[in-house]
Structure 1
C-alpha cells in the first residue's frame, strides 16, 4: 500500500488557517492519495486520550471521500514531571488510549520511536494489541544504526517476542547516498564554512565527514541562524546501506519513503526507494509504504505538489525494483 503522510502538511497545520483534520481529509478529497498516515497530536485535540467522538468524526469524514488511515503517529511520554519518570504501568496507561483510538479509526497500528518502549512495556502491551488487532510499529530512522548496542539489543527483544503485533517501521532517511541540494543551499546562505560544505556535498558517506561535523559544532563554528538546521546532520540524515539494515527487514511491516526535496540527480531520491523495495520483495514484505516529506523545515513549497510528485517518483522507482505499489 502506497500512502501519503499528513506530516507533509505540518507547516499548514502550524498556520492553523484550516483545522488539522480538514487538512488530513483534504489529502484524500484532493486525490493526492486514498490512504494516509496521520499524527495523533495533530488531528485530535483530545490527544493523548482521543475521545470517541473525535475519532469517529475523522473516520467517517475519510470514509465519505474514500480514504483510510494506515498508521497513527503516537507517543510514549516517559516523564510524569520533570523529576519523576513514569512507571511501566503509567507508560502503558498513556499509550493504551492511543492504541484504542487507532483501532477505532480503522488504522493498522500506532507508530512510536524505535527502542523507546522497552521489553517490559512491550510484554505488557501485547495482550491489548492482540485484542485490538493492531500493530505497534517501532520506527528507526536517520543516524540510528545496528552497530549501536542499544539498537541491537532492542532488535533482540523484538526477535524474542516474535509477535506480528510488534513490528519495525524503517524510515529511509537511514539510506541517504548524498545530502539534499536545497539543504546545502540553506547552510551556505546561513554562513556555514565553505570547506565543510564541500565535504558535505562531495563526501557525505565518508566517516571523516561526520567527525568534521562534530568538530564544527563543538568548536562553536555553526552560525546561530542555522544552528537548529545544522543538527539534522547529527540526527536526521543517515549513512547506512540496505545491507546494513538487512537484519531488520524480516520484522519490517512499514516504511517511510522519506524525502527532503525532489532533486534526483544521481538517484539521490529514487535509488534508496528502489534499493529498499528490492530488499523488501526478497523477504515477502506486505506492509505500507508512505511518502513522508521532511524538507518543509526549510523549503517553502506546496505540500500537495511535492507529495504528488514524490509518489509518482516512488511508483517508478518501485516498478524498477519489480515491486508492485
Structure 2
C-alpha cells in the first residue's frame, strides 16, 4: 500500500506569509496530512544547499518527534543560470552534488529533479546519487508524453544499469479531465471576459498535440491589454494539464520511485476519478512508495479564497478513502 502525505510546496501561501519549516511541519502533522512529506530545498532553507547544522538537526528531530517521513527533497539545476551560456557538465554536477549531499544528511530517501539533463550529465548525477544512497527521480507531469526522449533516456539508463537509485516521479497531472475552475477565476481577475475564458477552455479541449492547443489558446488573448500576464498563466497551466491515461504509462510505471497527486481546485471531488485511476495503476505495478498531495491552486487563487492546509487535509482524506477502498477489494 502506498504511503500518503503532502509536499510542502502546497503550502506556498504560508511560506510567503512568513511561516517557517518547523511551524509548517507542526501544521501538517496536526492536520493529519502525513506521514510522508516532500520539501523543496530552495524554498525551505535560506542559502540551500548550504544548511546550517543546527537547522539540519532541528529538522531531523522534528520529523522524528512528529512521526513524519522525509520522502523526497526537491532539487533544481538551472543549466542557463549563468548569463550568456549554459553550464558545462562539470559546473552542473558541482551545482547539483551539494543538493544531493544535503538530501542525504537531512534523511531524505529520494530527490525529485526536472527532466532535461544531457546524457553524460545524467549518468554522472545518477552515479553520485547512488554513491550517497539517495534515489534520483525525474518528474513526469502535465503534457509530457511517455515517449518523450528525456523520459526514455532515464528509463533506458535505469534498465541498463538496474540501479534502484534511479527512476521517475509520477505526477497525476498527466491525467486532467478538465481545466481547473481556479484557472477561470485567475483569468477573470486579470480582466479576461467570459468569451475569452471559454475560448481558452475550447482550445484545450481540441484534438492534437499540446503545443498546438496552447498556441490556439494564446491566440485567443490577442489584443488584450494584459496579454503578457494572461499568456504566461495560460501557457503555464495548460502545459501542466495532460490528457494521457494511466494505461499509456503502463510500461514505465515499474520505474516510478515517487508520486504526486496533483490538483488545483479546492473542491477535491473533482479529482476523485483520475486519482483513483492512478492509485489503481500504481498498485497494479507494485508501487508501495509515497503518494503526496500537491495543491497547485495557490498559483491561481488568492490566499483568502482557500486555506492551503484545509484544502490539503481534505485531499489527503480523499486519497486515504481511495487507498482504503482498494485494499478492501478482494484480489
Give the aligned partner of residue 121 of structure 2.
121
Where structure 1 has 5 or more consecutive residues not aligned to the other structure, the ranges are none
Worse-matched range after superposition: 60-69 or 213-222? 213-222
Asked whether 1:239 is paired with 2:256, we answer no
Structure 1 CA distance for aligned equivalents of residues 317 and 112 of structure 2: 25
- Work out whether residues 75 and 95 of structure 1, in 8 Å CA contact, stay in contact via their aligned partners in 2: yes
Structure 2 CA distance for aligned equivalents of residues 322 and 206 of structure 1: 37
Structure 2 CA distance for aligned equivalents of residues 305 and 264 of structure 1: 11
Worse-matched range after superposition: 294-303 or 306-315? 294-303
Indicate the structure whose relative CO is greater, using CA pairs within 8 Å and at least 6 residues apart.
2
Q: State how many pairs are aligned.
A: 320
Q: Select 1:298's aligned residue among 290, 297, 300.
A: 300
SS in 2 for 1:145: coil
In structure 2, relative to structure 1, the CA distance for the partners of 1:71 and 1:304 (3 Å cut) is same
Q: Deviations over 1:225-273 (max 9, x none)?
A: 53332223442211111122222201002110001114356xx401111
- Cα displacement (A) at 1:3: 1.1
Root-mean-square deviation over aligned CA pairs: 2.7
- Cα displacement (A) at 1:21: 4.2
In structure 2, relative to structure 1, the CA distance for the partners of 1:105 and 1:313 (3 Å cut) is same
- TM-score, normalised relative to structure 2: 0.86
Asked whether 1:263 is paired with 2:267, we answer yes
Q: Select 1:253's aligned residue among 235, 257, 260.
A: 257
- TM-score, normalised relative to structure 1: 0.87
SS in 1 for 2:215: helix
Asked whether 1:207 is paired with 2:207, we answer yes
- Work out whether residues 49 and 99 of structure 2, in 8 Å CA contact, stay in contact via their aligned partners in 1: yes
Q: Deviations over 1:172-206 (max 9, x none)?
A: 11110111123223324544464564465578543
- Work out whether residues 100 and 111 of structure 2, in 8 Å CA contact, stay in contact via their aligned partners in 1: yes
SS in 1 for 2:247: coil
Give the aligned partner of residue 50 of structure 2.
49
- Cα displacement (A) at 1:111: 0.7
- Work out whether residues 199 and 209 of structure 1, in 8 Å CA contact, stay in contact via their aligned partners in 2: no
Give the aligned partner of residue 178 of structure 2.
178
Asked whether 1:229 is paired with 2:233, we answer yes
